[in-house]
Amino acid sequence: MTPETQIKVPEDYKKKLPRDVAIALETCVRCGLCTESCHYYKSNPKSDFIPAYRAEVFRRILRKKDYSEKSLGAMSDIAFSNCTLCRRCVMTCPLGVDTGLLMREARGLAVASGTAPEILVQLADTAISRGEDIEIFREMFLENIKALEEEVRQLTGDPQAVIPVDKKGADILFVALSGAHSIIPPSILFHYAKANWTLSFFEASNYGVLIGDKDRAKRIVQRIVDEAKRLGVKEIVVGECGHAYNTLRWEAPKWFDGGFPFRVRSIIEVMAHLIQEGRLPLDKSANPEPVIYHDACNLTRNGGLLEEPRIVLRAAVKDYREMSPNRDDSYCCGGGGGIIAVPEWDSKRMEAGKPKAEQIKATGAKVVIVACDNCRIQINDLNEHYKLGINIGGITETVVKAILKAVKGS
């Protein structure tokens, strides 16, 4: 295959574009107002990193129907490694052009043409196959959860503490990520909140969304929806994952006729609600150091959780401070959109994270709280790369420290 070889992609790709994407493609007047808003451009002001340039590459391919290996490969590289889909540029565009949305659509074309990074497609397919036959991994999963349950019992000092799985009639289906750090703190939180909950067999992350493949994205969500319906829960609570929250809360209900028969909340919203109702014992002295919060793009700008994390942290830590800019104007940490799963892009990822590293440094805070696992990995790496000398913690873990201090004094 030569760079000029034409790749077979769905002929009517442009016709199939959703209306909002088609409008965004045609609306940009190349005014450049969005340029400075992009963290890639801010850390390295070269033309490749201008948001409108990325969209133009995609637009040219569709207009000219240039489906050559070379053009699609270049588009794929731009869409996957030069854009984290953070949508900060959308906030500055006077015409509301959504470059993040366009880049996700470009990712979809890359997947359809076989030019997308294989590892990301594989991650989506692995999640789908896990949903096809739960029995294969059921025993191993339950064994792992038993071990985590033991830790919860030790930490709470309560031999009756449990991590329920597959519990029919639970109010909450909690969807975590893989790893003890994503399961133990919420289990302790639910224990003290006396919640009627159960843990999902599936992980919250959705690589189908990240690769812009709606079919894969829906199949990944379908596993959780089926589980929620089978157990008859009233709501799904999503753990600390930005894109999973944004997907399950805002996007996925539109993919299913009639939406979801249950509500979807983030664990941050659950904690804010419990705190406002005075239902959590909290001792702030468990978290005495100055703390700042990183607004993950998919939780804040794209997910709408602007005040909830602040309600939570002001109640759980002694000295809460803000980064600047913050909330929906916050800079992306540089690790979103799946870039973190591709090792070849590590140095680009560190460069793109420079504005976030500078924001953190400027506050002088020694603890950064993050409520998205992707951002947590990225900020850990930024800490090392830029020698920030900070500690990084999860928001549920921070609340749980304050609960345990209030209840047990430690």
* 38 DSSP assignment: -
Q: Which is nearer to ligand SF4, 97 or 155 (CB)?
A: 97
Q: Are 297 and 242 in contact (CB under 8 A)?
A: yes
Q: Which is nearer to ligand SF4, 208 or 353 (CB)?
A: 353
Closest distance between ligand SF4 and the C-beta of residue 120, in Å? 16
CA atoms within 13 A of residue 10's CA, in its CB half-sphere: 11
Tell me the C-alpha distance between 38 and 86, whole Å: 9
- Retrieve residue 119's tokens: 């590892």
Q: Which is nearer to ligand SF4, 223 or 356 (CB)?
A: 356
Distances (CA, A) of 24 to 88, 206, 278, 339, 348: 15, 24, 45, 24, 27
Q: Which is nearer to ligand SF4, 60 or 366 (CB)?
A: 60
- DSSP calls for 238-303: E-S-HHHHHIIIIIGGGGSTT--SSEEEEHHHHHHHHHHTT-S---GGGS-SEEEEE--TTTTTTT
Closest distance between ligand SF4 and the C-beta of residue 100, in Å? 4
Closest distance between ligand SF4 and the C-beta of residue 238, in Å? 22
Closest distance between ligand SF4 and the C-beta of residue 30, in Å? 5
- Retrieve residue 327's tokens: 């909330």
Q: Which is nearer to ligand SF4, 100 or 186 (CB)?
A: 100
CA atoms within 13 A of residue 55's CA, in its CB half-sphere: 26
Nearest of 310, 306, 173, 292 to residue 239 by alpha carbon: 173
Residue 160: other Cβ atoms inside 10 A: 7
Distances (CA, A) of 26 to 19, 57, 59, 119: 11, 13, 8, 32
Tell me the C-alpha distance between 388 and 374, whole Å: 18
Closest distance between ligand SF4 and the C-beta of residue 395, in Å? 23
Closest distance between ligand SF4 and the C-beta of residue 231, in Å? 36
Q: Which is nearer to ligand SF4, 88 or 218 (CB)?
A: 88
Closest distance between ligand SF4 and the C-beta of residue 92, in Å? 6
Tell me the C-alpha distance between 238 and 227, whole Å: 14
Q: Which is nearer to ligand SF4, 348 or 385 (CB)?
A: 348
Contact residues for ligand SF4, defined by CB under 6 A = 28-34, 37-38, 40, 51-52, 54, 83-89, 93, 95, 97, 99-100, 103, 332
Q: Which is nearer to ligand SF4, 85 or 371 (CB)?
A: 85
Closest distance between ligand SF4 and the C-beta of residue 352, in Å? 8
3-state SS assignment for residue 351 = helix
